[in-house]
Protein backbone atom coordinates (compact mmCIF):
# COMPACT_ATOMS: atom_id res chain seq x y z
CA UNK A 1 0.00 0.00 0.00
CA UNK A 2 1.24 3.47 -0.85
CA UNK A 3 1.52 6.24 1.72
CA UNK A 4 -1.53 8.49 1.52
CA UNK A 5 -1.01 12.22 1.29
CA UNK A 6 -3.27 15.21 1.84
CA UNK A 7 -5.65 16.48 -0.83
CA UNK A 8 -3.98 19.88 -0.59
CA UNK A 9 -0.62 18.33 -1.49
CA UNK A 10 -2.17 16.56 -4.47
CA UNK A 11 -3.85 19.74 -5.66
CA UNK A 12 -0.71 21.84 -5.28
CA UNK A 13 1.51 19.41 -7.21
CA UNK A 14 0.88 20.21 -10.85
CA UNK A 15 4.19 20.43 -12.73
CA UNK A 16 3.58 17.05 -14.38
CA UNK A 17 0.19 18.00 -15.83
CA UNK A 18 -0.22 18.66 -19.57
CA UNK A 19 -2.66 21.54 -18.89
CA UNK A 20 -3.69 23.63 -15.84
CA UNK A 21 -6.13 22.44 -13.21
CA UNK A 22 -9.78 23.39 -13.69
CA UNK A 23 -10.74 26.67 -12.04
CA UNK A 24 -13.72 25.10 -10.26
CA UNK A 25 -13.25 23.02 -7.06
CA UNK A 26 -12.92 19.26 -7.29
CA UNK A 27 -16.08 17.30 -6.42
CA UNK A 28 -15.05 13.70 -5.75
CA UNK A 29 -12.16 11.97 -4.02
CA UNK A 30 -11.09 8.61 -5.39
CA UNK A 31 -8.44 5.95 -4.87
CA UNK A 32 -7.41 3.61 -7.66
CA UNK A 33 -5.70 0.82 -5.77
CA UNK A 34 -3.58 -2.08 -7.03
CA UNK A 35 -4.31 -1.75 -10.75
CA UNK A 36 -2.91 -4.27 -13.21
CA UNK A 37 -2.64 -2.69 -16.67
CA UNK A 38 -2.71 -4.97 -19.70
CA UNK A 39 -2.13 -3.14 -22.99
CA UNK A 40 -2.44 -4.24 -26.62
CA UNK A 41 -1.36 -2.47 -29.79
CA UNK A 42 -4.19 -2.31 -32.31
CA UNK A 43 -4.59 -0.97 -35.81
CA UNK A 44 -6.34 2.40 -35.77
CA UNK A 45 -8.73 1.23 -38.48
CA UNK A 46 -9.82 -1.70 -36.28
CA UNK A 47 -10.50 0.54 -33.29
CA UNK A 48 -12.03 3.57 -35.02
CA UNK A 49 -15.53 2.01 -35.48
CA UNK A 50 -15.83 1.59 -31.68
CA UNK A 51 -15.16 5.27 -30.94
CA UNK A 52 -17.82 7.98 -31.29
CA UNK A 53 -17.12 10.20 -34.29
CA UNK A 54 -17.02 13.25 -32.01
CA UNK A 55 -13.74 11.99 -30.51
CA UNK A 56 -10.37 11.79 -32.23
CA UNK A 57 -8.45 8.55 -31.84
CA UNK A 58 -5.09 9.13 -30.14
CA UNK A 59 -2.03 7.26 -31.36
CA UNK A 60 1.67 6.99 -30.61
CA UNK A 61 4.15 6.13 -33.36
CA UNK A 62 1.14 5.56 -35.61
CA UNK A 63 -0.27 2.87 -33.31
CA UNK A 64 -3.48 2.85 -31.29
CA UNK A 65 -3.75 1.01 -27.99
CA UNK A 66 -6.46 -0.66 -25.94
CA UNK A 67 -6.10 -1.57 -22.25
CA UNK A 68 -7.87 -3.87 -19.81
CA UNK A 69 -7.43 -2.71 -16.20
CA UNK A 70 -8.67 -4.51 -13.07
CA UNK A 71 -8.28 -2.59 -9.81
CA UNK A 72 -10.03 -1.62 -6.57
CA UNK A 73 -11.69 1.77 -6.38
CA UNK A 74 -12.72 4.00 -3.49
CA UNK A 75 -14.95 6.95 -4.37
CA UNK A 76 -16.78 9.52 -2.29
CA UNK A 77 -18.17 13.06 -2.65
CA UNK A 78 -15.90 15.83 -1.38
CA UNK A 79 -17.91 16.78 1.70
CA UNK A 80 -19.18 13.34 2.73
CA UNK A 81 -17.41 10.42 4.44
CA UNK A 82 -16.81 7.18 2.59
CA UNK A 83 -19.47 4.49 3.01
CA UNK A 84 -17.57 1.24 2.32
CA UNK A 85 -20.68 -0.76 1.39
CA UNK A 86 -21.06 1.52 -1.65
CA UNK A 87 -17.82 3.52 -1.91
CA UNK A 88 -15.33 0.64 -2.21
CA UNK A 89 -15.56 -2.03 -4.90
CA UNK A 90 -13.53 -3.90 -7.48
CA UNK A 91 -13.64 -2.72 -11.07
CA UNK A 92 -12.49 -3.80 -14.51
CA UNK A 93 -12.44 -1.27 -17.31
CA UNK A 94 -11.68 -1.65 -20.98
CA UNK A 95 -10.36 1.64 -22.30
CA UNK A 96 -8.73 3.26 -25.24
CA UNK A 97 -7.03 6.59 -25.86
CA UNK A 98 -8.60 9.62 -27.51
CA UNK A 99 -8.33 13.38 -27.96
CA UNK A 100 -10.89 16.16 -27.87
CA UNK A 101 -10.37 19.91 -28.23
CA UNK A 102 -6.65 19.63 -27.62
CA UNK A 103 -6.91 17.41 -24.52
CA UNK A 104 -5.79 13.80 -24.42
CA UNK A 105 -7.71 11.31 -22.31
CA UNK A 106 -9.42 7.95 -22.18
CA UNK A 107 -12.65 6.59 -23.56
CA UNK A 108 -14.21 3.58 -21.84
CA UNK A 109 -15.52 0.85 -24.07
CA UNK A 110 -16.76 -1.10 -21.07
CA UNK A 111 -16.73 -0.76 -17.26
CA UNK A 112 -17.71 -3.46 -14.77
CA UNK A 113 -18.01 -3.21 -11.00
CA UNK A 114 -18.46 -5.76 -8.23
CA UNK A 115 -21.43 -4.09 -6.45
CA UNK A 116 -24.81 -3.58 -8.08
CA UNK A 117 -25.73 -0.43 -6.16
CA UNK A 118 -22.32 1.13 -6.84
CA UNK A 119 -22.64 0.44 -10.57
CA UNK A 120 -26.13 1.91 -10.66
CA UNK A 121 -25.08 5.08 -8.84
CA UNK A 122 -21.99 5.53 -10.99
CA UNK A 123 -23.99 5.04 -14.17
CA UNK A 124 -26.70 7.50 -13.10
CA UNK A 125 -24.34 10.17 -11.77
CA UNK A 126 -21.65 10.03 -14.45
CA UNK A 127 -23.15 8.45 -17.54
CA UNK A 128 -20.24 6.01 -17.67
CA UNK A 129 -21.14 2.51 -18.94
CA UNK A 130 -20.95 0.65 -15.61
CA UNK A 131 -22.33 -2.89 -15.49
CA UNK A 132 -22.34 -5.40 -12.66
CA UNK A 133 -20.02 -8.41 -12.70
CA UNK A 134 -19.18 -11.00 -10.09
CA UNK A 135 -15.60 -10.41 -9.00
CA UNK A 136 -13.18 -11.96 -6.58
CA UNK A 137 -9.85 -10.50 -5.53
CA UNK A 138 -7.51 -12.16 -3.09
CA UNK A 139 -3.83 -11.44 -2.82
CA UNK A 140 -2.36 -11.41 -6.31
CA UNK A 141 -5.28 -13.09 -8.05
CA UNK A 142 -8.31 -11.51 -9.69
CA UNK A 143 -11.36 -12.94 -11.43
CA UNK A 144 -14.48 -11.44 -12.96
CA UNK A 145 -17.54 -12.90 -14.70
CA UNK A 146 -20.29 -10.92 -16.41
CA UNK A 147 -22.72 -13.45 -17.86
CA UNK A 148 -25.03 -10.82 -19.31
CA UNK A 149 -22.29 -9.42 -21.56
CA UNK A 150 -20.35 -12.69 -21.89
CA UNK A 151 -17.22 -11.18 -20.36
CA UNK A 152 -14.76 -13.11 -18.21
CA UNK A 153 -11.31 -12.43 -16.79
CA UNK A 154 -9.01 -14.54 -14.66
CA UNK A 155 -5.42 -13.77 -13.82
CA UNK A 156 -2.64 -14.20 -11.33
CA UNK A 157 0.20 -11.68 -11.16
CA UNK A 158 3.38 -10.84 -9.34
CA UNK A 159 4.52 -7.19 -9.04
CA UNK A 160 8.10 -6.59 -10.01
CA UNK A 161 10.64 -3.78 -9.87
CA UNK A 162 9.72 -0.10 -10.02
CA UNK A 163 10.21 1.57 -13.38
CA UNK A 164 12.66 4.32 -12.46
CA UNK A 165 12.59 6.01 -15.85
CA UNK A 166 9.31 5.33 -17.67
CA UNK A 167 9.68 5.55 -21.43
CA UNK A 168 7.44 7.56 -23.75
CA UNK A 169 4.95 4.72 -24.20
CA UNK A 170 4.73 4.04 -20.45
CA UNK A 171 3.86 7.70 -19.86
CA UNK A 172 1.54 7.96 -22.85
CA UNK A 173 -0.56 5.06 -21.54
CA UNK A 174 -0.65 6.08 -17.89
CA UNK A 175 -0.54 9.86 -17.54
CA UNK A 176 -4.08 10.74 -18.61
CA UNK A 177 -5.96 13.57 -16.93
CA UNK A 178 -9.34 13.51 -18.64
CA UNK A 179 -11.99 11.01 -19.64
CA UNK A 180 -14.73 11.50 -22.17
CA UNK A 181 -18.28 10.32 -22.69
CA UNK A 182 -20.56 11.09 -25.61
CA UNK A 183 -24.33 11.49 -25.27
CA UNK A 184 -26.60 12.70 -28.07
CA UNK A 185 -23.50 13.76 -30.01
CA UNK A 186 -22.39 15.92 -27.11
CA UNK A 187 -18.96 15.31 -25.60
CA UNK A 188 -18.75 15.41 -21.81
CA UNK A 189 -15.28 15.94 -20.35
CA UNK A 190 -14.41 14.73 -16.85
CA UNK A 191 -11.21 16.28 -15.54
CA UNK A 192 -9.09 14.37 -13.01
CA UNK A 193 -5.88 15.06 -11.14
CA UNK A 194 -3.38 12.87 -9.30
CA UNK A 195 0.34 12.62 -8.74
CA UNK A 196 2.37 10.77 -11.40
CA UNK A 197 1.92 7.02 -11.38
CA UNK A 198 4.63 4.97 -9.65
CA UNK A 199 4.68 2.14 -12.18
CA UNK A 200 6.15 -1.31 -11.65
CA UNK A 201 6.90 -4.22 -13.90
CA UNK A 202 4.55 -7.16 -13.42
CA UNK A 203 4.66 -10.83 -14.27
CA UNK A 204 1.20 -12.04 -15.30
CA UNK A 205 0.42 -15.73 -15.23
CA UNK A 206 -2.70 -17.90 -15.55
CA UNK A 207 -4.31 -15.20 -17.67
CA UNK A 208 -7.65 -15.98 -19.31
CA UNK A 209 -9.57 -13.21 -21.08
CA UNK A 210 -12.85 -13.64 -22.95
CA UNK A 211 -14.64 -10.38 -23.80
CA UNK A 212 -17.33 -10.89 -26.40
CA UNK A 213 -17.02 -8.26 -29.09
CA UNK A 214 -13.42 -7.38 -28.21
CA UNK A 215 -11.50 -10.64 -28.48
CA UNK A 216 -10.14 -9.60 -31.88
CA UNK A 217 -8.44 -6.65 -30.12
CA UNK A 218 -7.35 -8.07 -26.77
CA UNK A 219 -6.70 -11.69 -27.61
CA UNK A 220 -3.37 -13.26 -26.81
CA UNK A 221 -0.57 -12.04 -24.58
CA UNK A 222 -0.53 -8.28 -23.87
CA UNK A 223 2.12 -6.24 -25.66
CA UNK A 224 2.87 -4.29 -22.49
CA UNK A 225 1.93 -4.58 -18.82
CA UNK A 226 2.21 -2.41 -15.72
CA UNK A 227 1.31 -2.62 -12.06
CA UNK A 228 0.98 0.15 -9.48
CA UNK A 229 0.11 0.29 -5.81
CA UNK A 230 -2.24 3.08 -6.79
CA UNK A 231 -2.96 6.78 -6.79
CA UNK A 232 -5.26 9.19 -4.98
CA UNK A 233 -7.45 11.10 -7.38
CA UNK A 234 -9.35 14.40 -7.34
CA UNK A 235 -12.21 14.42 -9.84
CA UNK A 236 -13.79 17.59 -11.18
Q: What are the tens digits of pLDDT across the range 122-137?
A: 999 898 999 999 999 9
What is the C-alpha separation between 29 and 232, in angstroms, rounded? 8
pLDDT in tens, 184-236: 999 999 999 999 999 999 999 899 999 999 999 998 899 999 999 999 999 99
Indicate whether 180 belongs to any domain: yes
pLDDT in tens, 7-63: 999 999 999 999 999 999 999 999 999 999 999 999 999 999 999 999 999 999 999
Q: What confidence score (pLDDT) does residue 219 get?
A: 84
The count of structural domains within the chain is 1
Pairing of strands 28-33, 230-235: antiparallel
Q: Does residue 1 surpass a pLDDT of 90?
A: no
Q: What confidence score (pLDDT) does residue 24 get?
A: 95
pLDDT in tens, 79-121: 898 898 999 999 999 999 999 999 999 999 999 999 999 999 9
Indicate whether 20 belongs to any domain: no
What is the C-alpha separation between 233 and 7, in angstroms, rounded? 9
Indicate whether 1 belongs to any domain: no
State the pLDDT confidence band at 178, using cuts at 50, 70 and 90: very high
Q: What confidence score (pLDDT) does residue 82 get?
A: 87
Indicate whether 35 belongs to any domain: yes
Indicate whether 90 belongs to any domain: yes
State the pLDDT confidence band at 159, using cuts at 50, 70 and 90: very high
Q: What confidence score (pLDDT) does residue 194 get?
A: 98
Q: What confidence score (pLDDT) does residue 2 get?
A: 84
What is the C-alpha separation between 206 and 142, in angstroms, rounded? 10
Indicate whether 172 belongs to any domain: yes
CB 27, CB 78: distance < 8 Å: yes
What is the C-alpha separation between 50 and 24, in angstroms, rounded? 32
Indicate whether 209 belongs to any domain: yes
- Name which of 188, 43, 39, 179 is nearest 104 in CA terms: 179
CATH number, residue 210 = 2.40.400.10
Indicate whether 2 belongs to any domain: no
Write out the residue range of the structural domain in which residue 192 sits.
7-13+27-235
In sequence order, the 6+-apart residues with CB closer than 8 A to the CB of 124 are none
Amino acid sequence: MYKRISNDTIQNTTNHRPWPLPSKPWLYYQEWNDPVFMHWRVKPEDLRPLIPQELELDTINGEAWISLVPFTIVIKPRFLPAFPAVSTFDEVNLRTYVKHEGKTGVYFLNIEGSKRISCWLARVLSGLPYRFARMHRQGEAFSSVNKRQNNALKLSYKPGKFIRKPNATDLWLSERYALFTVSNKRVNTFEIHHLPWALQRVNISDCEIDYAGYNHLIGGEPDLTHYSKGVQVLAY
